[in-house]
Amino acid sequence: MKRKLLLLICFVSIIQLASAQQKPQYTQYVFNNFLLNPALSGIENYTDVKAGYRSQWTGLQGAPQTSYITLSAPLGSEFLNGDATEMPPGGGEDPMSRSYTQNYQAAPAHHGIGFMLVSDKAGPITTTNIDATYAYHIGLTSRLNLSLGVAAGVARTNLNTSELTLENAFDPAVDNANNAQWSPDLNLGVWAYASDYYFGVSVQQVLPEKLYFSTNNKYDQSKTVPHYFFTAGYKLFLSDDLTLLPSFLIKQINPVPLTYDVNMKVSFRDIFWVGGSYRHNDSFGILAGFNISSLINVGYSYDITTSALNTVSNGTHEIVLSLLLNNRYKVTCPQHTF
């Protein structure tokens, strides 16, 4: 294998090791935990559509860029047409208030469906995941719900050979290259939630698949591995209008060490929120969001790189736009995902 190709592979490996995962990472996953756990399908009493874009390590050529579209909606007449959120049609009490927390009732049993399209580009390699999701929500107690979810679809891994510069055009590592690979994709998740806390466990890439770009078995050594996630969050009222929302995410992806994120968000009613995050051995993040109306929410984050890449990186930008469709209660912020 020629020197320049080796440098390319080393660069891609650095990206994977630095992020501690093969799948994309997100700073604003708290704004859209559905990306990590299919059990959130249909968790809100409206159709939740989100579009996001993340530019990681800006200033570094070939650094990861991730874009996605997700959709989640509840199914079930009792949940959609009943008083599932303890609020009257056409609006009602602020869902962030103490009274809502005290009077909260677990949502009736219902189904949730969803869809996600995620594209992640790192150097010459682009991975695209297309998944349909399903979840079933039940009430464990009068104040606690549990949901089980699954996401199934396909993953496409593409190597753009036009971005490679080789001394030998017939390098055996990419000669007769299988530049576009399709493979099955399967993710599973469990999510428990009440009015003031949540916790969930999920696994992505349940089905390990080989990754190769050559018909030569000598270079057929890479494969996908399962990604395990555990997350939890809590809502603490500082006053009737001000809430503190701490949360964390633990990630386990063999063979890299266990890593974690810690987040803190302060929300003023259902108008806006600000927060910070820390990703172990990687970055600090600053987050902010505005609930513009009962139709549109927007969130933005900026990560300051703390790893060795900080000498060549100008930080990471991420933006998320959310649409609350069929929002019969006219709420302006999520009620079950904070």
CB 203 within 8 Å of CB 227: yes
Residue 281: pLDDT over 90: no
Proportion of the chain above pLDDT 90, given as a percent: 49
Element spanning 261, H or E: strand 259-268
Interval 227-264: pLDDT, tens: 999 999 999 999 888 999 999 999 999 888 899 999 99
Other CB atoms within a 10 A radius of the CB of residue 34 amount to 29
Is residue 16 included in any domain, yes or no? no
Top mean-pLDDT range of 162-166, 222-226, 254-258, 278-282: 278-282
145/16: higher pLDDT: 145
Q: What is the pLDDT of residue 129?
A: 96
Query: Of 69-73, 205-209, 273-277, 298-302, which gets the smallest average pLDDT?
Result: 205-209
Q: What is the mean pLDDT of residues 126-139?
A: 95
Please tell me whether residue 291 adopts helix, strand or coil conformation: strand
Q: What is the pLDDT of residue 220?
A: 58
CATH of the domain at 113: 2.40.160.40
Q: What is the mean pLDDT of residues 279-302?
A: 93
Interval 20-59: pLDDT, tens: 457 898 999 988 999 999 999 999 989 999 999 999 888 7
Q: Is 268 exposed, middle or buried (0-12, 13-18, 19+ CB in 10 A)?
A: middle
Element spanning 115, H or E: strand 110-122
Residue 18: pLDDT over 50: no
270/203: higher pLDDT: 203
Find the angle CA(317)-CA(222)-CA(67) to the nearest 5 degrees.
Answer: 25
Is residue 77 included in any domain, yes or no? yes
Is residue 220 included in any domain, yes or no? yes
What distance in Å separates the CA atoms of residue 269 and residue 267, rounded to the nearest whole number?
Answer: 6
Is residue 4 included in any domain, yes or no? no
Q: What is the mean pLDDT of residues 258-282?
A: 92
Interval 142-185: pLDDT, tens: 889 999 999 999 999 888 766 666 666 666 666 555 577 888 99
What distance in Å separates the CA atoms of residue 87 and residue 99, rounded to the nearest whole number?
Answer: 11
Q: What is the pLDDT of residue 264?
A: 96
Other CB atoms within a 10 A radius of the CB of residue 77 amount to 9
Is residue 153 included in any domain, yes or no? yes
Distances 2 to 6, 124, 187 between C-alpha atoms, Å? 6, 17, 37
Find the angle CA(208)-CA(262)-CA(185) to the nearest 5 degrees.
Answer: 20
Q: What is the pLDDT of residue 99?
A: 67
Q: What is the pLDDT of residue 269?
A: 82
Total number of domains in the chain: 1
Interval 3-14: pLDDT, tens: 444 344 444 443
Interval 307-318: pLDDT, tens: 877 777 788 999
Q: What is the pLDDT of residue 131?
A: 98
Proportion of the chain above pLDDT 70, given as a percent: 78
Is residue 338 included in any domain, yes or no? no
Q: What is the sign, positive or negative, of the torsion defined by CA atoms of 217, 218, 219, 224?
A: positive
Average pLDDT, the chain: 83
Question: What domain range is 60 assigned to?
Answer: 25-325
* Amino acid identity, position 312: V
Is residue 136 included in any domain, yes or no? yes
255/89: higher pLDDT: 255
Interval 62-83: pLDDT, tens: 788 999 999 999 987 767 654 4
Query: Of 17-21, 97-101, 124-128, which gets the smallest average pLDDT?
Result: 17-21
Q: State the greatest distance between any 2 C-alpha atoms of the chain, in Å, as a whole number.
A: 70
Q: What is the sign, positive or negative, of the torsion defined by CA atoms of 122, 127, 132, 136?
A: negative
